[in-house]
Amino acid sequence: MRWKESTVLLLISPDGVEEAIDCAKAAEHLDIVDVKRPAEGSLGANFPWVIREIRDAVPADKPVSATVGDVPYKPGTVAQAALGAVVSGATYIKVGLYGCTTPEQATDVMSGVVRAVKEYRPDAFVVASGYADAHRIGCVNPLSLPDIARRSGSDAAMLDTAVKDGTRLFDHVPPDVCAEFVRLAHEADLLAALAGSVKTADLEALTRIGTDIVGVRGAVCEGGDRTTGRIQPHLVAAFRAEMDRHAGEQAAAVAAAS
């Protein structure tokens, strides 16, 4: 494994600088601050200056992630966008392979991203992101993501949901299929990240199947609303407490079985 913590990592996605400041107030409870722009899609890209401002707003020891967008099959365009994100201060670069209809197209896009990003900053972390509801938008199958990430030299494979209509990760890719996604990622020496309207009720399954990174927004917003609600530090703390509880229970179960 390229990089692995003993507990599941929590990635929180503020939609701007003000929410990032709220994340900073809960910094002890989260691991990665993710910069996106929900108005431009599930993995919508934010502006370079917003990435810089958020990087300045959160503690230096907290990695900043940035989405490059729900991208088309335009490898050169996407590579330039990814370079812009890392130049702006992000060290995790996430690419939503929205417009790639075959694994070959997706690998082509991600290979360009990896080269552009790692030539500038070798320690940057590249995430190939697909969609649990791929069948609704015609992009690559979720279970093809680990191999796409491996072949392109990426560091992680991720699943999110493309259409934010209230349906969730497990509505489209049930826990047993997510477990296969995680297994394939780990076999390829990758981290496995899962998101998509994740709730606290999903944490037992996400922990049990070995997820490395859990990405959330709505679950830590007031009213549970990712669009109109604002991230609340106390909700971040509560979500993290539930993550840690499930991690502890899973560790105890493994120890008892060994």
Q: Please give the positions annotated as active site.
A: 36, 94
Contact (Cβ atoms closer than 8 angstroms) between residue 218 and residue 226: yes
Torsion angles phi and psi, residue 9, rounded to 5: -90, 140
The CA-to-CA distance between both ends of the chain, in Å, stands at 22
Here the contacts of 115-120 (C-beta below 8 Å, separation 24 or greater) are 115/79, 116/79, 116/80, 116/82, 116/83, 117/82, 117/83, 117/86, 117/93, 118/153, 120/83, 120/86, 120/87
